[in-house]
Structures are given as structure tokens and as C-alpha cells.
Amino acid sequence: MEFLLIIISAIFVNNIMLAQFLGTCPFIGVSGRLSTATGMSGAVCFVITLSTLVTYLINKYLLVPFGLTFLQTIAFILVIAALVQMVEIVLKKISPSLYQALGIFLPLITTNCAVLGVALNVVTKEFTFGGGPAHMLGLGEAVVYAFATSLGYGLAMVLFAGLREHLDLNDVPKPFRGVPIALVTVGILAMAFMGFSGIV
Amino acid sequence: MSKLSIFTKGFLKENPTFVLLLGLCPTLATTTTALNGVGMGLATLFVLVLSNIVISAIAPVVPDKVHIPVYIVVIATFVTILQFLMQAYTPGMYKSLGLFIPLIVVNCIVLGRAEAFASKNGILDSALDGLGIGLGFTVSLMVLGLVRELLGSGSVFGWKLFSGDGILVFVMAPGAFLVLGYLMVLFNKLAKKE
Amino acid sequence: MVCCLGAVCLVCAALLGGVYVLTEDAIVQTNAALLRESVGSVLPAGGTLSEALPLEVGGTPSEYYVSTADGAPAGYAVKSTVSGFGGPLVLMVGLTPEGKVYGTSVLSHAETPGLGAKCTSDAAFIDQFKGFDPAVSRLAVRKDGGDVDAITASTITSRAYALAIANAVAAFQNIKGE
């Protein structure tokens, strides 16, 4: 039950993109076409889940016992950068087809603040779900939260890419063309997602 | 390029928010009030200037293959120092900016300037570049914060201008996107005229 | 190449360690001052404050402080965490030795700006708890049959606020009962 609440909360209520503004740059950058948007979502999903698992363990068994939590930011970003490189190499070896689909997005992910944001969030913040007591997340909860959050990111991205493809066909006033009209559209999409607030 | 133009290009010609479209996450998330916008801008400025200086100094001796990781480590170091200082001396601001202080590490503006400017130019020029871009970013965030605070809570820098609640949606997430979108339209329109 | 990256990492880590040691004291002092301020704002002025004492509030481990004046307890400050609208809502609840509420202050929250976040600034809402006697009135919003006036359009936040105080009062009864 709790896992279900975490998933609904992370995808709809606290959508990482539309409510927390993490990962906006690549969101605006690659959401022009539906195909690139799905590719990027897949890559982000993979990296966020994996990096949260690794950084959670590093924080719990390395940084906290030795009193090094002040190195959190620097350690996490290095781990994420190394992980992204590794994923790229492994993917190239074992699944060339998946690498073809996700490969070009991987280098961009290191500087996607959604990845570092989620990793830092799960080890520093207390969470409440469905009126339960506030608590730090356990390993299982952290991984489920990370996975659901990245699904939410993918959902927002794919929805938005669909809208943008239609926008291209319309006669938009000149100063609005490109990013401004995209931002206004995301604003309206975010308003729709506000309707979910408070359900868990 | 003259020293003056290195400094001033961050305000209009290479404004990080409205022209380069970099660092949108903190731009949207922390501008619920003008004061928060200024705080976030100055925090980024601090990291930008110091990392630009250090990177321009070490760039000639860093091997090409590892230059990105080295830059990230340098930036992350200054971000963490900033975290300590803010926790010690401006705890209120640290609390209201929250997660977005450590996230300066992945702000594309900082790494972008390191890669595009500081690694190819001298220390003084890099410092000026960081200062100019940082101030340009701060001003953009302040403007965005001003508009959102005025529309959303009817006040400016915490001073209540009219009573009542204002249009709450501007303080919440959708308002951030809408205001930034419309400010960009305005910027495009004015920049075209010049 | 690897040496270079390693060297940069080492220098940076050493630098960070140094700055950490230098600012650690200041950070601890700032946090302690903030905590004292929030505890002080919910208790009668002029007592001597105890260290943090462990206490279970609302089923989760928390802490409380006792203020002593003239050898007798003058007030208790109980830290209480509940689930608000947007995330955890953490309150410091000041209680008199008789069990009345003396004052409340929000330590941290994640409520909606302009709506639930008013629980930190809406004077009419906050002041109604000053001198609130849980033995006479009920700590619940009027919609739930209690005596607390909710913040307009923020029933969930107000409910959570009242619950946090009620939990603190219940935990306080346990200390008193011992």
C-alpha cells in the first residue's frame, strides 16, 4: 500500500518536472519530437534509478559512518558521472540496439539536475505518504521513489512532446515562437497537474 | 574584446536566462519572491566567479581527456563551501533555497562558462566574465521574482502594496512557466527593435 | 591523466575538510541559536532551558525541552511532526505546567505558498492557540466538530496543525503522568 502511495505521489502529485522544476533544460531541449522525448525518458529512467541505488548505499555505508556527509554533493556528482560512463560502455557491449536508442542522450544526463536532485532528496529529506508519520526513506522505498519519479519525468516529457508537435503546425505570433510558447504550454500543463495535489 | 564588453555582455547580448536559456531549473523554482531570486542569483555568482578564476588558472595543465570531471570537481568544491557559509551565516536564505544550492553544481551556466570561456582566457577576463554573467543572471531572477511576487502575493521585496491574496497561481509552479514565457516574449520584442 | 584527476580530488577534499572545520562551530552555533529562539518564542520568558530530552510524540521519536524558573518547571516545549498537505509539518509547541498551550511556532513545512504556508504568518490563526486549554476546548478544526478556526481554503494544513498540537499535548500528559 505504501509503495502504491509513493508511486502515485511521485508521478502525479509531486511531479519532478511540473511541480519541482528539476531537469527543465533537457526538458525544453529535447521535447521537440516524440521519438527523442521517449528516448531521453528511457535513459533518464535508467540512470536515476541506478544512481539513486548507488548513492544511497554510498551515503549509508561510507559517508555517514565516517562523518563525511559534507562531501555528499561532490561524491554524488562524481558517482553519477562515472555511472553514466559505465552505463554507456556496458550498454554498447551487451545491447547495441538499446544503445542506439538511448546512447546519444547519456552524456547529457550527467548535468541533468533531476538525477542529482533525486539522489540528494532521498538522503536528506523526510517524506510523508498518505498521512503516515514523517520518516527518512529505506533502501527499497528510495529505489521505488526514484523509479516512479523518473516515470513522472517521462510522462511529462512525452505529453509535452505530443503538444509541441502540434504547436509546430500552428501559426504562432513571431515573438512567441520557439521557447516562449513552449514555456506557456508547460505552464498550462502544470496547471492541469495541480489538480492532483492533495490526493495522497 | 574590451574588458568592459566582457563584463556587460551578460546583461543583454548573452543574458543566461533570456538568450542562452541556461539554468532554467533554479530560475523557475526559486523566484517565488524577488528576495529569493536575488539570493539564488548571488549564490550562483559566487560559485561562477571563483570557479572561473580557478579553472582559467589550471586549464593549461589539465589533460584534455579528464577536463570535464576536473571542472565538475572544482565547481562542486566551491558549491559545498558556499553551503557551509550559508548554513553558518544566512540560515534563513539557505532554508528557503533548499535543494537548489547543491544543485548549482549541475547548473549548465557554471559548467558552460568554464568550458566556453574560462578554459580559453586569462584569469582577470574570466573573473570579469563570471561577474558579468552572474549579475545578468541575478537581474533576470530578480525581475522574474518581482513580477511573480507582485502578481502572486501583492508585494515587492516583502512590502505589501495592496491587501488581499493576489493571484496565487503565480507563486505556484504554473505561474513560473507562464511568467518566464511572457517575459521572454517581451525580451524578444524589445531586443528586435534595438 | 588519472593522477591529475586524483590530485584535483585530493586537493579539493582537503580544502573542503579545512573549510568544514572552520565553519563547523559557526553552523552549530547558528542552529542552536535558531532552536533556542523557536523554543523561547513558545515559552514564558525568563526561565532556564534544559537540554533536549527524548520523548515519543504521535508514535514517532521526538524531543522536548523544560524551562525552569525558581526551581519549578515554568513551561515545556515539545517538538511535534505530522503529515501536512505538501509534506512533513514540524511544530514547536509550548505548554504551561497546567497543560495549556502557551504558544506554537513552525520549525519547517512544505505547504502551498499563499495557502497552507499562511500557518507561519496568519496572526489570527496562530494567536487562537495562545492560552488554548485542551481540557475545555477540542483541538480539531470546526469542520470536524472541534474549536479551531481553519485558515481559509487550507483545511488540511489547519487539521495537521491542530493534530500536531494535540499529539504534543498527549505526549505531555505522559511525562506528567510519570
Range of the domain at B58: 3-193
- What is the DSSP code string of chain C? -HHHHHHHHHHHHHHHHHHHHHHHHHHHHHHHHHHHHHHHHTS-TTPEEPPPEEEEETTEEEEEEEEEETTEEEEEEEEEEEE-SSSEEEEEEEE-TTS-EEEEEEEE--PPTTTGGGGGT-HHHHHTTTT--TTTS-SSBGGGTSSBPPPTT-HHHHHHHHHHHHHHHHHHHHHHH-
- Quick one: average pLDDT of C97-115? 86
Classified as helix, coil or strand, A138 is: coil
Q: Tell which residue, C65, C88, B105, has the closest CA to residue A125.
A: C88
Contact list in B for residue C12 (CB cut-off 8 A) is 73-74, 76-77
Q: What is the ipTM of this complex?
A: 0.85
pLDDT at position A200 is 63
Which long-range contacts link B183-189 to residues 24+ away (Cβ below 8 Å)?
Answer: B183/B18, B183/B143, B183/B144, B183/B147, B184/A179, B184/A180, B184/A183, B184/B18, B185/A175, B185/A176, B185/A180, B186/A175, B187/B15, B187/B18, B187/B19, B188/A175, B188/A180, B189/A175
Mutation target among B32, B77, B105 for the C interface, most CBs of C within 10 A = B77
- pLDDT band at A54, cuts 50/70/90? very high
Instruction: Identify whether the C-beta of residue A37 lies closer than 8 Å to the C-beta of residue A43.
Output: no
Tens digit of pLDDT for each residue in A15-46?
888 888 888 878 887 777 888 888 888 888 98
Instruction: Identify whether the C-beta of residue C139 lies closer than 8 Å to the C-beta of residue C104.
Output: no
Select the more confidently predicted residue: C134 or B194: C134
- Quick one: average pLDDT of C74-86? 87
Sign of CA dihedral A87, A93, A95, A101: positive
> How far, in Å, CA of C74 to CA of C67, rounded?
6
Q: Alpha carbon C137 to chain centroid distance? A: 22
- Quick one: average pLDDT of B160-173? 81
- Contact between C83 and A197 using a beta-carbon 8 Å cutoff: no
Q: Using a CB–CB cutoff of 8 Å, tell me whether B180 touches chain A.
A: yes
- What is the DSSP code string of B3-68? HHHHHHTTTTTT-TTTTS---HHHHHHSTTSHHHHHHHHHHHHHHHHHHHHHHHHHGGGS-GGGHH
Helices and strands, counts by H and E, chain A: 9, 0
Q: Using a CB–CB cutoff of 8 Å, tell me whether B164 touches chain C.
A: no
- Contact between A184 and B105 using a beta-carbon 8 Å cutoff: no
Instruction: Identify whether the C-beta of residue A22 lies closer than 8 Å to the C-beta of residue A117.
Output: yes
Question: How many angstroms separate the Cα of B191 from the Cα of each of B13, B188, C37?
Answer: 9, 5, 49
- Listed in order, strand segments (DSSP E) in chain A are none
> How far, in Å, CA of B40 to CA of B19, rounded?
19
Tens digit of pLDDT for each residue in B108-135?
889 889 988 999 999 999 999 999 999 9
Q: Tell which residue, A9, A19, A22, has the closest CA to residue A118.
A: A22
- What is the number of structural domains in chain B? 1
Question: Which chains sit next to A, with 3 or more Cβ pairs under 8 A?
Answer: B, C
- pLDDT band at A130, cuts 50/70/90? low
Residues in a beta bridge with C48: C68
- pLDDT band at A131, cuts 50/70/90? low
Query: What is chain A's alpha carbon radius of gyration, rounded to the nearest angstrom?
Result: 18
- Contact between C19 and B166 using a beta-carbon 8 Å cutoff: no
Tens digit of pLDDT for each residue in B9-24?
888 888 888 888 888 8
**How far is the alpha carbon of B2 from chain A, nearest alpha carbon, in Å?**
31
- Quick one: average pLDDT of A112-116? 89
Contact list in B for residue A194 (CB cut-off 8 A) is 172-174
User: For residue C12, what is its C-alpha cell?
Assistant: 579539493
> How far, in Å, CA of C59 to CA of B8, rounded?
58
Tens digit of pLDDT for each residue in B4-57?
888 888 888 888 888 888 888 899 989 988 999 999 999 999 999 999 999 999
pLDDT at position B144 is 94
Q: Tell which residue, C144, C167, C154, C168, has the closest CA to residue C85.
A: C154
pLDDT at position C152 is 82
User: For residue B181, what is its C-alpha cell?
Assistant: 514565457
- Quick one: average pLDDT of B151-165? 82
